[in-house]
Structure 1
Amino acid sequence: MNVYNSASNVANPQVGHLLTDIPAHDPFIVADQATQTYYLYTGGGPRIHGMDRYGVLTYKSKDLVNWEGPYVVFTIPDGIWANPQHGAWAPEVHSYNGRYYMFVTLHNNDRALEGEGHGGYRLQWRGSVIAVSDFLEGPFEIIKQEAPVPPEHHMTLDGSLYVDEEGVPWMVYCHEWVQTADGTIEAVKLTNDLTDRASDPIHLFDGSAAPWDNGDHPADGSKSIYVTDGCQLYRTKNNRLVMLWSTYDKGSYVQTIARSTSGKLEGPWEQLEPLVFDDSGHGMLFQTFEGEWKLILHSPFRMPASRCKIYDIVDDGDSFSIKQD
């Protein structure tokens, strides 16, 4: 078990890990051109990693095969709205205006929201924050500490950075099915320094927009549930705007994809055929140092068995697809 050492900000890093060795959920890779190093970010915590509080870990690799780590790059501090013992989900790290910004979802299970939850869950504070560092290995420090960046009365998760064609930064995120039943993908404009949101949310699409019946339909007649997870946006070589997101199919996690028919964040969005089934999802796309597109995701869904898988991707100009052998 990795033991968190707060003095050195390291969780017993070791060399020679394969992806099959690394328990990881909601993986995110940064390909750092300056050092020719790939950084894999994932959530870390007490139960699996021996840390005294939740946070974010990174592993490093030169070839996407052999990995060194884990290194603790962020831990939830005391004195903010979130509870350090209640989880850190879906970390992403983006280069923006010369610094590195981490988007990560935090929680406070003891701070209730008004209203009734769906699926037997209660409503509580959950939302994405932004933390900043000058280095990919951190440490990252939260910018806004009193509340999440999306509206705090919304139960949200999986915030991601998108910079539009006019250079305006947005946080695109999921509005939790626990609160809405039919989960949604939404977005808020951010201030230019990423310190806070600068607009009310806009609605992009509903979870029920998937091109198959991805709903859980309770036998008691209560509202059907549609999950939205892991929204991330990319441009193809022909400048088509596409979004990865995840949902379910008959209880199995699915990596799917959507495309904006207008080429703008506001959509409208059309749903394309899923990329990966088999209890796989919350993936992201990245390019290797040779310019090849890759998809990394986790499978199966449940920790601690969850592991990363990498797929070769084809950019055909209109969308992205799994490269066929």
Structure 2
Amino acid sequence: MANYTTNTSMYKLNHTMLRVKDPQASIKYYSENFGMKVINRLDVEEAKFSLYFLAFDSAKAESAGKHWTDRESVLELTHNYGTENDPNYKARFGHICFSVDHLEATCAALETAGVKFQKKLTEGKMRDIAFALDPDGYWVELIGRPSANPEAKETDKETYRFNHTMIRVKDPEKSLLFYQSTLGMSLLRTVENKESKFNLYFLGYRRRGEDGSEVTKEKLADREGLLELTWNYGTESDPNFKYHNGNTDPQGFGHLCISVDSLEDACARFEDLQVNWKKRLTDGRMKTVAFILDPDDYWIEILQNEGLKKSGAGW
């Protein structure tokens, strides 16, 4: 019988890690254009890298003032020393998504500021989303969150949400089983695009008071801490097909992170579930984090939520 206690309903999709070429340029981009703040910084000089944790932290933010591990949708920017001087540095990833109060005004302000776009609001068939580009070429999807400021003529950055992170998956059945059964997430909404031959699956940890029904598009836009899985039809049937996980060259996206109520107990549960480990809690010099692999070999960091349990210095 298992001798651990951990409750997946207490877990949070804490952060998404992206590697960046020049941290100062990236921090400036996310702070000036979107209002994010650096809420934590870790310099690991012996390993020659620094970590910058950004979040929406105004009085109107969902997790204002909380410990950085006790939030959803933190953005971790990892800088490996020297990349700022490497002309061949490139990044690869799906996208992150911000929901904003006034989509048209936001896009107009970004254009005025000289931000580059992968897709402007007026381009293509879908006129309710845009994709901005950050300094490394990562896509930042922008969607509307009209409930935040319905009568506004201008945009208010303090109302923005880091809504979701998108990754592509080969086999949706395997991925959905992993994120629901292993990590305890719920499938909140499914969007089928049969004409274009792809589906979108939005997962997250249920909020208090939510039942098991599908969450509306409008309510999802108000959320943080969501994961979007994109499945392109047919990939599951190709034995040679494999997505780039961001941790082999060219490096870009690094990992997702789940913060848990009890780090040791959560890892004991994962051990019982026979997950594929990238790093067990007892491996290596860092004894405060673990990494498991999802069905596509994306890295999932497991981290103690210090807001639920003070476990020493930690990260």
Q: TM-score when scaled to structure 2?
A: 0.28
User: Higher helix fraction: Structure 1 or Structure 2?
Assistant: 2
Q: TM-score when scaled to structure 1?
A: 0.28
Greater RCO, 1 or 2 (C-alpha within 8 Å, sep 6+):
2
User: Higher strand fraction: Structure 1 or Structure 2?
Assistant: 1
